[in-house]
Amino acid sequence: MALLGQSIPISFNRIYVNGEYVGPNSKNELSLFNPKDNTLVAEKIPIADKVDVDNAVKHAEAAFNGPWASFTSSQRSECFRRLADLLETRLSDILALDSLTTGNPVSLIPTREKNYIKNCLLYYAGWTDKLRGDYFPADDGFVKLVRQEPLGVCVAINPYNSPVASLFIKAAPCLATGNVLIVKPSEKSPLGSLAVAPLFEEAGFPPGVIQVLPGDGKTGALLAEHMRVRKISFTGSVATGKKIQIAAAQSNLKRVTLELGGKSPAVIFEDADMDNAVTWTVNGILARTGQVCVAASRVYVQKSISGKFISQYVERMKAAALGIGDPQDPDTKYGPLADSAAFEKVRAMISRGKEEAELVFGGNRIGTEGCFIEPTVFLNPKPDAEIYKSEVFGPVVVVKTFDTEEEVVEAANDTEYGLMAGIFTRDINRALRVSARIDSGVVGVNCVSMMHIQAPFGGKKASGIGREFGEYALRAFTEPKTILIK
Known catalytic residues are: 259
CA distances 382 to 296, 305, 400, Å, are 19, 21, 10
Cα–Cα distance list, 236 to 79, 156, 158, 241 (Å):
29, 11, 7, 7
Q: 62: buried, middle or exposed (CB in 10 Å: 19+, 13-18, 0-12)?
A: middle
Write out the DSSP string of 55-79: HHHHHHHHHHHTGGGG--HHHHHHH
Q: How far apart are CA 428 and CA 373, in angstroms?
A: 38
Strand partners, 182: 155, 211
Instruction: Specify whether the CB–CB gap between 24 and 213 falls below 8 A.
Output: no
Find out whether 444 and 464 touch, Cβ atoms under 8 Å: no
Calculate ∠ Cα 400-342-183, nearest 5°.
Answer: 110
Reduced to 3 states, what is the DSSP secondary structure of residue 424?
Answer: strand
Give backbone dihedrals phi and psi of 419, rounded to 5 degrees, phi first: -100, -55
Question: First vs last Cα of the chain: how many Å apart?
Answer: 60
Considering only CA atoms, which of 428, 449, 437, 386 is closest in space to residue 410?
Answer: 437
Element (H, E) at 22: strand 20-22
In 171-282, the DSSP E strands lie at 180-184, 210-212, 231-235, 255-259, 265-268
Query: What residues form DSSP beta bridges with 255?
Result: 231
Contact 361, 297 (CB under 8 A): no
* Residue ranges with strand state E in 23-96: 29-34, 39-46
Q: What is the DSSP letter of 110?
A: I
Cβ contact 62:229 at 8 Å: no
Sheet strands (E) in 143-238: 143-150, 153-157, 180-184, 210-212, 231-235
Residue 154: closest CA among 245, 230, 250: 230
HEC profile for 129-140? Answer: CCCCCEEECCCC
CA distance 339 to 362: 19
Exposed, middle or buried, 422 (CB in 10 Å: 0-12/13-18/19+)? Answer: buried
- What is the amino acid identity at position 130? K
Q: Please, are residues 192 and 97 in contact by the beta-carbon 8 Å criterion?
A: yes
